[in-house]
Every structure is written in structure tokens, then in C-alpha cells.
């Protein structure tokens, strides 16, 4: 048991494990200390100073986020002097912040705005001095607006320490300090992999998704167009947070209903594409495993991970699965198979993907294979946050919508298809099918618990008819390089790779923690979203991708065989070495 320390917070006795910060100790005592730079995902670095408290015997106020509790400490978290200091800090921040809340995408969901309201900051005591800095939307996935930066440092810490990308840093000094890519270049010319974790952790509107809701409205109002839509697995357990639901609430049926009322002609599900991915990737793995060549196989569903690989792991390019991501597969089939079935001109179809991810905006034009039908597989990709804005702008009473069904032709999915939304889900889904392909028998228990949870790197061994498959699952890009370096070490020493199959997701928790999900994600929230995904899986009658009858039908009627010539044309991609940026 951890050593415990005892203190008093505002006169109330508190016992916490040694090393606990004053901020966390106060939370345990039911006291809320205001913060701005602090985030539970990140190490505290005490940048803003709003969390100052008094500790008896200390000659100065201390920052609660970075100060551990000392045995016997008597701590005061709120008094008139502390509040006055916090108001002064807020005044300094607000004096360098644009006063355009009504036009800001974070209006009503901004941590600085909330603090200003809580402290009654109705008038600014200091002269306003906002430095004019041009926005950077060069990646067309996220937009950097340094004018609104509050210098909290969250984005830089996320980019450097969590993601190991090093695209963002502070440049300049004093009043001129600002956020920018290293060298003060455009974001598109930086190491950025478009994961959007910077925007997910930003407390204000300084970094946000490249909004394309106007393009969706245009498609919905175009009488010549045939707009169709698909939703990713992680969207259904997060969209409710924008409408007052508990994180993780499964709202698939309401989503289908909302999308129909928005005016989409057909509603599909990316989970169907996930089942397709497993058929293709499972056969790909079984072939490599039998031959003992091309191992380890690396998953390819995450576009931020693909971007990272094309820049920084080019020595693994031959190990990458050639499978497109699930939403790209659905897009390709919507403009071919579905178009034929529904007697719709493919050129009229506008495919909109609703994703938990900002990097999907990059992926849809990543290379020529993303237009396998002769036109883009996906026309528009929007995030969960953008969808919430569409629903609100349409005046839909989301909570009172009935549950509806999707258009089954490209929507019916297995439990394996839905778990793609969590870290370990792609691996678990693949294992369920690989077991059949390699042993000829179904898994007795399809639940594969070793790959579940938020541990950064998960390892497991699977017995497939007397043959052992060693697997690894990594999420959050900062955890990935260690896995790749282990394989590099095996290669350098002439050993067999220690893993045969590796899943990677760029964002913490997988897609449930994607850069386009509702703001405020923590491990607690990611865990709740994951529970919703696993509940969806457990509630499905069919839990393996190869058992999905509509997947079987589409191979019989259109694709032929998994990994065959036609499926390769529509469902597979290729990779290109991209410029390597210094990190």
C-alpha cells in the first residue's frame, strides 16, 4: 500500500497517497481549484498560475497543479487574496485574447470563457493588446489560430510528449511569444500527422478542426446531388455528450434518424467497412503467416499512423497492410455496388463520412487509390463535433428522435466491426477471423481481453491450432516507436520478429479518443466510451466479421474473393515515401 500523507484543506482533514498534488487532493476533498493550463493527460508545468493556493508556513503562494502535498500541511484554496490574484491572472490573459466569442467555434464550450464567467470578469481592467497573427489552415485538417493562444502549452506538450511528433512549439520571447511549427513554417510543411490531439486538448479556440459543414449543407441542398452518409463506430458513443448524455451512451439508432432528417438519401455504417477490412486483412495475415514472410503485419486503419509511417517508418512500408480504412471501403462500394443496386448515377453520389478523427480529412485525398471508382471514394469527411453543429443548426430535438435502422445494403455489421473504435479492437476483430482462417475452426470465446484497456503497449500470444501468434497493440503515437525499435533490433540481430501482428492507433484510447471527438476527453471518459463500444459488440447476434451475411453476399455478388483482383482494386491502397521532417 502506498505511503499516505495527511493534511488539512480549508480546515478539512484529508488523507492522500504520497506524491499527490494539492490540486488532486483538493478534488478528493470536494474542492474545485480553477485551472487553465492543467490537463489530466499531461504532466503539470504550472504555466498559467490560476491554481495558486496558500500553504501555512510558505512565504509565497504555490501552484496547486505542480505542488505535492506535504505531511501536516495546512492549505487554503480560496480567500479574498487568492481570488484577487486569480482575477489578475485572468485579466492578463484576457487582455491578450480577441474579444470575438460569438464567432468562435468554442463559444459556450471554452475553458477561458467559463473562468471569466465564474470570476465575474465583466470589464477588462487592462488595455487590450492582441498580436495580429495569420491563421494557418494549410493542412486542411486542423486550423491554427495563434491570436487566441493563451500560452497554456497543452498542445505543444501533447504533440511532443504524448504523440512524439514535435510539430508545435513556442517561438519568440516576452509579449511576442506565440505558438507555431518549429522554424515558423506552415503546419503542412511541419512534422504534423493531422491527428488533432492538439485541438482536442486546447482549452480555447486556438486550434480547431477544419470545418466543412458548409460543404455538407451545399450537398444536401443540391437537387442534382445524391448525398449519402456513413458513421464511424466511435461516433455513436460520443455524439450524445453534445446533447447532455453520459459519455459512452450508445446512440446508433438516433444517429441514423438524425441523418435522415438532415436530408441524406441513404445512411450507411462504417462498421460494415470494418467487417470488410477484417476479411481482407485477415486473409492477408493468414497468407503472410503461412509463408513466414512479410511479418509483422501492421494495421493500416488509422490515417495519422499511416502519415507517420510514410515519413518516419519507411523501413516498415512493406509490412503495412494494403487494406484501405473502413470508411474508404464503404465509399468505394457506395459509388459502385450500391450505385448499381439503387440505380443511381455514381457521379451524383456525394459520400459524407462522419469520423471521430481530423486526419480522415487528409486521408480522403492521400493518394490515387482513394478514387478507385474513378471518382473520390469519400467527398467530405467531418468530425463528431461538426456533426453536432449540423444537428443543432437543423433544429433537431436529438434526445426525442426515435431509433431507426440504416440502409442495410452497406450498414449491417457484426460485433467485430464496432470494436474498431477502441484500441485493441482491430486486433481483437482480426483474431476472431484469423482463428478460423488458420485453424479451420471458430474461436470458442470471441472475447480477447489481453488487448483491451488503456495500457500504452499491450502484448499477447495466441494459440492457433498449435501455432503461436505473438501480437502487440500500441496507441498514442509516443508509445509506437518503442515497438518499432524492438522489431528493428530483431532485424539487426537476424532474429525472427518478436511480433507477427501489430495494431497501431495514433490517439490515446483509439478512435474513442480521436482528435475530432467532443472536447474534454480524459481516461475516465475514454473508458466510458469504450464500454459503450464493447456493449454494442456484446449485444450483436453476429460477432465475427466473416459471419456477417451481407459481407458474404457482397463477395458473392460483386467482389469475388477476399484479396482477389476486384477487391484489391476497390479495397486496397499503396504507400509513398514522404519528405522526412526533423523532429
Q: Mind listing the pLDDT tens digit for each residue in 255-296?
A: 999 999 999 999 999 999 999 999 999 999 999 998 988 999
Nine cell digits for residue 453: 484497456
Strand partners, 12: 9
User: 184, 209, 234 — which closes off a domain?
Assistant: 209
Same domain, 370 and 238: yes
Q: Which of 260, 233, 222, 212 is nearest to 396 (CA)?
A: 260
Q: Are residues 202 and 334 in the same domain?
A: no
Answer whether residue 218 is part of any domain: no
Q: What is the CATH number of the domain that holds 492?
A: 3.40.50.1780
Same domain for 393 and 327, yes or no, is yes
Same domain membership, residue 49 and residue 135: no
| Residue 86 falls inside a structural domain | no
Label residues 186-196 b or e (16+ Cβ within 10 Å = b).
Answer: ebeebbbbbbb
Instruction: Look at residue 413 and tell me if it is in a domain.
Output: yes
* Consecutive H or E run containing 458: strand 457-464
Number of independent structural domains in the chain: 3
Mean pLDDT of all residues in 232-236 = 98
Angstrom distances, CA of residue 499 to CA of 126, 301, 462, 495: 59, 19, 11, 11
Give strand pairing partners of 298: 320, 502
Same domain, 133 and 179: yes
Residue-number span of the structural domain to which 35 is assigned = 4-78
Same domain, 72 and 97: no
**Rounded CA gap, 98 and 408, in Å?**
48
Confidence at 361, pLDDT banded by 50, 70, 90? very high
User: At 16, which CATH number?
Assistant: 3.10.20.740
Is the dihedral angle over the CA atoms 260, 266, 270, 272 positive or is it negative? positive
Burial pattern 406-436, b for ≥16 Cβ within 10 A else e, equals bbebbbbbbbbbbbbbbbbbbbbbbbbbbbb
Closest Cα to residue 229, out of 274, 277, 254, 263?
263
Is a pLDDT exceeding 90 seen at residue 354? yes
| 67 lies in the same domain as 165 | no
Separation of CA 548 from chain center: 27
Q: Per-residue confidence at 1, pLDDT binned at 50, 70, 90? A: low
Residue 214 lies in a domain: no
pLDDT given at position 583: 61
Lowest mean pLDDT among 120-124, 172-176, 247-251, 304-308: 172-176
Residue 217 belongs to a domain: no
Instruction: Give the CA distances from residue 463 to residues 86, 146, 419, in Å, rounded to whole numbers and listed in that order.
Output: 59, 52, 22
Cis peptide before 296 (omega within 30 of 0): yes
Question: Tens digits of per-residue pLDDT, 84-121?
Answer: 999 999 999 999 999 999 999 999 999 999 999 999 99
Task: Say yes or no: 190 and 301 in one domain.
Answer: no
Q: Answer yes or no: do 231 and 204 share one domain.
A: no
Q: 119-128, 430-439, 524-533, 556-565: lowest mean pLDDT where?
A: 119-128
Give the whole-angstrom CA distance, residue 378 versus residue 489.
39
Amino acid at each position: 500500500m502506498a505511503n499516505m500523507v495527511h493534511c488539512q484543506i480549508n480546515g478539512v482533514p484529508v488523507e492522500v497517497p504520497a506524491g499527490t498534488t494539492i490540486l488532486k487532493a483538493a478534488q478528493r476533498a470536494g474542492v474545485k481549484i480553477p485551472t487553465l493550463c492543467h490537463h489530466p493527460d499531461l504532466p503539470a508545468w504550472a504555466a498559467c498560475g490560476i491554481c495558486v493556493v496558500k500553504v501555512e508556513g510558505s512565504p509565497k503562494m504555490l501552484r496547486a497543479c505542480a505542488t505535492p502535498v506535504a505531511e501536516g500541511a495546512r492549505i487554503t484554496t480560496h480567500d479574498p487574496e487568492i481570488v484577487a490574484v486569480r482575477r489578475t491572472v485572468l485579466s492578463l490573459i484576457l487582455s491578450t485574447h480577441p474579444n470575438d466569442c460569438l464567432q468562435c467555434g468554442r463559444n459556450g464550450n471554452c475553458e477561458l470563457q467559463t473562468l471569466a464567467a465564474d470570476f465575474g470578469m465583466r470589464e477588462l481592467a487592462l488595455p487590450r493588446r492582441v498580436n495580429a497573427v495569420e491563421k494557418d489552415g494549410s493542412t486542411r485538417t486542423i486550423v491554427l489560430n495563434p491570436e487566441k493562444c493563451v500560452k497554456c502549452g497543452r498542445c505543444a506538450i501533447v504533440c511532443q510528449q504524448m504523440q512524439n511528433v514535435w510539430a508545435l512549439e513556442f517561438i519568440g520571447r516576452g509579449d511576442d511569444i506565440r505558438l507555431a511549427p518549429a522554424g515558423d513554417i506552415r503546419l503542412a510543411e511541419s512534422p504534423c500527422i493531422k491527428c488533432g490531439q492538439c485541438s482536442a486538448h486546447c482549452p480555447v479556440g486556438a486550434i480547431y478542426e477544419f470545418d466543412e459543414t458548409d460543404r455538407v449543407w451545399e450537398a444536401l441542398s443540391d437537387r442534382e446531388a445524391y448525398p449519402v452518409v456513413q458513421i464511424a463506430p466511435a461516433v455513436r458513443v460520443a455524439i450524445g455528450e453534445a446533447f447532455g448524455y453520459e459519455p459512452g451512451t450508445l446512440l446508433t439508432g438516433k444517429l441514423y434518424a438524425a441523418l435522415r432528417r438532415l436530408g441524406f438519401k441513404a445512411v450507411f455504417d462504417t462498421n460494415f467497412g470494418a467487417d470488410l477490412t477484417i476479411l481482407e486483412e485477415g486473409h492477408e495475415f493468414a497468407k503472410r503467416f503461412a509463408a513466414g514472410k512479410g511479418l509483422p503485419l501492421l494495421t493500416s486503419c488509422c490515417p495519422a499512423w499511416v502519415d507517420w509511417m510514410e515519413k518516419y517508418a519507411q523501413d516498415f512500408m512493406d509490412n503495412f497492410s494494403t487494406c484501405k480504412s473502413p470508411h474508404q471501403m464503404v465509399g468505394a462500394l457506395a459509388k459502385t455496388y450500391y450505385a448499381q443496386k439503387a440505380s443511381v448515377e455514381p457521379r451524383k453520389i456525394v459520400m459524407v463520412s462522419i469520423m471521430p478523427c481530423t486526419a480522415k480529412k487528409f486521408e480522403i485525398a492521400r493518394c490515387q487509390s482513394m478514387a478507385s471508382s474513378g471518382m473520390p471514394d469519400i467527398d467530405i469527411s467531418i468530425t463528431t463535433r461538426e456533426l453536432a453543429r449540423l444537428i443543432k443548426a437543423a433544429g433537431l430535438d436529438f434526445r426525442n428522435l426515435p431509433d431507426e435502422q440504416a440502409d442495410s445494403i452497406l450498414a449491417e455489421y457484426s460485433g467485430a466491426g464496432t470494436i474498431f473504435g477502441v484500441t485493441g479492437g482491430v486486433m481483437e476483430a482480426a483474431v476472431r477471423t484469423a482463428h478460423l482462417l488458420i485453424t479451420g475452426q471458430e474461436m470458442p470465446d470471441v472475447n480477447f481481453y489481453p488487448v483491451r484497456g488503456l495500457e500504452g503497449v499491450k502484448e499477447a500470444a495466441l494459440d492457433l491450432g498449435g501455432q503461436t501468434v505473438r501480437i502487440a497493440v500500441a496507441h498514442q503515437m509516443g508509445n509506437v516507436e518503442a515497438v518499432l525499435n524492438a522489431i528493428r533490433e530483431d532485424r539487426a540481430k537476424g532474429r525472427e520478429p518478436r511480433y507477427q501482428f501489430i495494431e497501431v492507433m495514433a490517439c490515446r484510447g483509439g478512435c474513442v479518443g480521436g482528435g475530432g471527438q467532443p472536447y474534454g476527453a480524459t481516461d475516465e471518459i475514454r473508458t466510458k466510451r469504450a464500454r459503450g463500444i464493447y456493449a454494442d459488440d456484446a449485444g450483436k447476434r453476429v460477432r465475427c466479421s466473416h459471419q456477417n451475411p451481407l459481407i458474404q453476399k457482397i463477395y458473392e455478388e460483386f467482389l469475388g474473393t477476399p484479396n482477389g483482383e476486384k477487391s484489391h482494386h476497390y479495397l486496397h491502397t499503396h504507400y509513398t515515401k514522404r519528405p522526412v521532417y526533423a523532429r
